[in-house]
């Protein structure tokens, strides 16, 4: 790939499900905040030209990180929702580049997975995401907490990050989807909304997102390996 690759890290959330006093991306993990592990993986990858971090306007912790002054890192003010933060970063990004959007709270990302996703752009010029095939039996429930049906898992995938798309198309689709009030939960859903079918690239199962307190212990185990 000859075009620049820009990593975008939406980090404006407060992570209420972690039941912590600080945003989850700043919780300590093996001696460093979670986001420091995430950013280190991205800035150290030789094919990534820049990393744009979208921060909460009241964030006073990021500037204290040693990695915050890395020459590859650029800061922007994010928005209330993930899509708003990603769009804020896209507005500061060259439209001719490709963007690699990654969750701040996924600190176990490997360069191997980044390489596999970047290489997949040859097969999926419309863009692709890292994903993991569903292994467990899936059940659909109702409001009363009862099983309604068993869902066929054959073609089901867990969406992971990074998600990798041409910057111009992602920006246009995000903007239009937000104007229309569409429910955008990740970058792929914005592309799907516009009629694009992103590729699915099998990623490592240890690329977990730290969402609940138990996830911290699991992430610590994976990083130690």
The model's pLDDT over 34-45, given as tens digits with 9 standing for 90+, comes to: 999 999 999 999
Q: What is the pLDDT of residue 223?
A: 86
Query: Residue 128 forms beta bridges with which residues?
Result: 164, 199
Closest by CA position to 98, among listed 166, 36, 35: 166
63 has pLDDT over 90:
yes
**pTM for the full predicted model:** 0.93
Indicate which CATH number applies to the domain containing 135: 3.90.550.10
Alpha-carbon distance of 170 to 187, in angstroms, equals 7
Alpha-carbon distance of 32 to 37, in angstroms, equals 7
Alpha-carbon distance of 9 to 92, in angstroms, equals 13
- In whole angstroms, how far apart are CA 62 and each of 77, 187, 201, 208? 12, 24, 31, 22
21 has pLDDT over 80:
no
Closest by CA position to 129, among listed 150, 89, 90, 102: 102
Specify the number of domains making up the chain: 1
Tokens (6 digits) for 103: 């969750």
Query: Residue 120 forms beta bridges with which residues?
Result: none
- In whole angstroms, how far apart are CA 189 and each of 117, 159, 184, 185? 18, 10, 6, 6
Alpha-carbon distance of 91 to 188, in angstroms, equals 18
13 has pLDDT over 70:
yes
φ, ψ dihedrals at 100, nearest 5°: -115, 100
120 has pLDDT over 90:
yes
Tokens (6 digits) for 40: 């280190």
Q: What is the pLDDT of residue 190?
A: 97
Q: Which structural domain, as residue segments, surrounds residue 16? A: 5-224
């Amino acid at each position: 790939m000859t075009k620049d690759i820009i990593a975008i890290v939406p980090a404006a959330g407060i992570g209420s499900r972690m039941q912590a006093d600080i945003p989850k991306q700043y919780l300590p993990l093996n001696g460093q905040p979670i986001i420091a592990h995430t950013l280190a993986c991205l800035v150290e990858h030789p094919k990534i030209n820049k990393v744009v971090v979208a921060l909460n306007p009241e964030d006073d912790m990021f500037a204290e990180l040693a990695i915050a002054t890395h020459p590859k890192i650029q800061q922007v003010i994010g928005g209330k929702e993930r899509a708003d933060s990603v769009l804020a970063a896209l507005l500061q990004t060259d439209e001719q580049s490709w963007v690699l959007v990654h969750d701040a709270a996924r600190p176990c990302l490997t360069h191997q997975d980044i390489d596999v996703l970047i290489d997949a752009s040859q097969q999926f010029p419309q863009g692709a995401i890292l994903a993991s095939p569903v292994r467990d039996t899936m059940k659909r429930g109702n409001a009363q907490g009862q099983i309604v049906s068993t869902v066929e898992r054959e073609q089901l995938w867990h969406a992971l990050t990074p998600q990798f798309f041409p910057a111009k198309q992602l920006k246009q689709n995000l903007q239009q989807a937000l104007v229309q009030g569409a429910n955008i939960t990740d970058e792929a859903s914005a592309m799907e909304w516009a009629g694009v079918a992103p590729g699915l690239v099998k990623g490592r199962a240890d690329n977990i997102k730290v969402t609940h307190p138990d996830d911290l212990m699991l992430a610590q185990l994976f990083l130690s390996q």
